[in-house]
Each structure stands twice: as C-alpha cells, then as structure tokens.
Amino acid sequence: MSGRWWLNIGLAALIIALALVVEFKPGMHKAPAIPPLTDLSINRIDHIRLQRPGKPEIDLARSAGQWVMTAPRKARANRFRINELLHLAVARIATHFAAPAADLGRYGLDKPRAEVWLNNEKISFGGPHPLDPDHYVLYRGQVYLVPNHYANAATAPLSGFFSTRLINIRSRLMALRLPGLSLTRKPDGSWQVTPPNKKLSTDRVNTFVDDWRYAEALSVRPYSGKPVIAHVHIAFALPAVRTPASAGHPPGTPGKPPKSGPRSVLDLGILERKPEFILYRKDEGLEYHFPADMASQLLELKPH
C-alpha cells in the first residue's frame, strides 16, 4: 500500500477522533438542569390572583380556553400579561437561598410589592437586586432572583390587565352598522354594503371588516363618563345549536342541518375622533383608545 494511502487513512482517523471529541466532550460534565421555580404546569393553571398594597385585588380565570378578569370588574384579560404571569411558574432560577423571617427586610420581602397566586401557589415580590436587573421573590420559604419583566407584570396597573383587542377575533361578524354605512354578510359569505358603491372591490370590503376584527387599542381604561357622539353596532353569530337529529352529522349535511342560534349585538359608543379615536364598550364599562387615524380606517369605507 502506497504512502499516500496511509496518509489518507491517518487523516480519516483524525477526523473521526475529532468528531468524537466534539460529540462526547470527554472529561467534561454536563451542568445539571436548572429546575423551574414551581412544579406547576402552565396548562393546569386556571386561576391567578394578585394583591398589591393600596390597589384592588385582581382575579383572573381561564374560561372556555380564554382568560377573563372576574374582579375587581368583569372584562376580557390581556393575553400577553397573562402569559408573563403563567411563565413565572416555569421560570428557570439558578440562584436561591433560605431566608429567616428576620432577614426578609433586606430583600424587600417583609412588605411585598405584590403577591401572586398561581392556583394555590403564592409567590411574593420584593425589591430589586442592587446590581443585576432582577427582583427578589419569596416562594415556599426560599428567596429567588427572577428577571425584571416578571416583576413588571406583577405590579402593572389594573388597566394593563384589560385585553386591548376591541372584539374577540374568534367571533364571526354578521353585520356592521356605522354612521352612514352598513355591511351585512350574505348567505354566500360575501358582504352587502349600504349605500352601495360599485367602485368597492371584494378585497377592499373584506379588508375593512378585518380591520374591525383585529382592531387593537393602544390603551384601555375604565369609562370616563364622556358623552357618546355616535354609535356602532356589530352583530355576531352565536354558536349553532345541535339537535339530536343532527348529532353525528357535520354542519351543513343535507337533511341534517344544525339550528343557528340568535345573533348577539355589541353596542359601541364613539366618544371622540381627535386627538384620539375612542370607542366605549358599555358591556365592559371600558374605553378603547386608538390613534386618530384609526377613525377613518374603521368608519370610512372608500376604494383604494
């Protein structure tokens, strides 16, 4: 066998040896996995409660797969804020230590800034770490350091827990009645616009309806008492009611159609168009604040 063959074999063996070193890292030990703060599963948390000094207690509950606020008022809950609190349960915390009651004041835990219950597990928030962007929390007699964004979520104002979505995007819109304009969904799924405008394309009308479906406010606040200057009515289709005769048949099966339930109608009040566009949901007692240009986007249906 020539010297070139021996050289190729040696190089191949070296490459294999290097690959094994990279894969198995001999002499190096894997760091132990960092356990989560709690043993709760996010999917099993269905109740969150917050207490903060001088502020009303906030109760949040999972209902039919959606999070809602049940106290101090009934409203749809902000999904991003809920998500932050849920992930507190599984936060990976490397640093923790026992702290006698006499030492809790050193960490701001003698008078917590916030107390959060995830189901029945209580987590107390103290002060910030003097050097790192972390906060001290107390859980089951141990002090932990958690990233700042968890403390921001736990101490957010009440208004920060309201959903910023004007309507539930899962709802099927059936009609929109606006000042000087109305849209009604036809049986084939298209929209009838009144007064009619032949210059409007189907895509333009669908985009207009989607603007309402996905409208998200910059902020949401309790109703201020401003007078309503105009009204918007939105009709939604309620879930179909299945009858025994239709059981086992998909919706729309010939001869076995499910009965459609009545529509629900949402009444929105327009409070102002400038300098902000503000819509009032009377059913929630909340104001939804948008930039001023959203008024024309949501109220004026014009060809592009």
Domain shared by 149 and 197, yes or no: no
> b/e for 40-61, b at 16 or more Cβ within 10 A?
beeeebeebbbbbeeeeebebe
Note whether 86 and 127 are same-domain residues.
yes
176 sits in which H/E element: strand 172-178
Region 140-163 average pLDDT: 96
Is 186 found in the same domain as 157? Answer: no
In a domain, 98, yes or no: yes
Number of domains in the chain: 2
Q: Indicate if 231 and 288 belong to the same structural domain.
A: yes
State the average pLDDT over residues 71-95: 94
Is residue 249 in some structural domain? no
Domain end call among 102, 130, 161: 161
pLDDT digits (tens, 9 = 90+) for 33-64: 678 999 999 999 999 999 999 999 999 999 88
CATH number of the domain to which 126 belongs: 2.60.40
pLDDT band of residue 249 (cuts 50, 70, 90) is very low
Same domain, 188 and 227: yes
| pLDDT greater than 60 at residue 165 | yes
pLDDT (average), residues 195-203: 95
In a domain, 16, yes or no: no
Q: Is the pLDDT of residue 9 over 90?
A: no
Establish if 155 belongs to a structural domain.
Answer: yes
Q: Are 36 and 92 in contact (CB under 8 A)?
A: yes
End-of-domain residue from the set 161, 185, 202: 161
Mean pLDDT of 186-200: 95
Q: Would 23 be classed as within a structural domain? A: no
One domain, residues 58 and 97: yes
pLDDT above 50 (res 70):
yes
What pLDDT, on a 0 to 100 scale, did the predictor assign at position 8? 55
Average pLDDT over residues 139-157: 95
How does DSSP classify residue 273?
-
Residue 119 domain boundaries: 42-161
d(CA 241, CA 264): 14
Q: What is the DSSP string of 103-153?
A: GGGGGT-SS-SEEEEETTEEEEEEEE-SSSSEEEEEETTEEEEEEHHHHHH
Residue 252 lies in a domain: no
Q: Which of 140, 161, 182 is the last residue of a domain?
A: 161
Report the side by side order of strands in the sheet with 134-139: 75-76, 66-71, 58-63, 47-51, 114-118, 121-128, 134-139, 142-147, 96-98
Predicted local distance difference test score (pLDDT) of residue 269: 98
- The string of pLDDT tens digits covering residues 12-37 is 555 665 555 444 455 545 555 678 99
Question: 225 and 286 share a domain?
Answer: yes
- Predicted TM-score (pTM) of the model is 0.78
Q: Calculate mean pLDDT across residues 221-245.
A: 84
Per-residue confidence (pLDDT) for residue 301, from 0 to 100: 97
Does 155 have pLDDT greater than 60?
yes
Strands in 276-281's sheet, in edge-to-edge order, are: 191-194, 181-185, 172-178, 230-237, 263-272, 276-281, 286-291, 219-222
**218/185 same-domain check:** yes
Cα distance between the two ends of the chain: 78
Mean pLDDT throughout 167-195? Answer: 95
pLDDT digits (tens, 9 = 90+) for 100-125: 888 999 999 999 999 999 999 999 99
Is residue 150 located within the same domain as residue 189? no
Residue 47 sits in the same domain as residue 84:
yes
Q: 62-71 contacts: CB < 8 A, separation 24 or more?
A: 66/168, 69/161, 69/162
Q: Is residue 229 part of a domain?
A: yes
Same domain, 181 and 202: yes
Q: Is the pLDDT of residue 3 over 80?
A: no
Answer for the pair 135, 129: CB distance below 8 angstroms, yes or no.
Answer: yes
User: Do residues 156 and 190 share a domain?
Assistant: no
Per the domain annotation, does 226 fall within a domain?
yes
pLDDT band, residue 95 (cuts 50/70/90): confident
- pLDDT, mean over the chain: 87
- Binned at pLDDT 50, 70 and 90, residue 213 comes out as very high
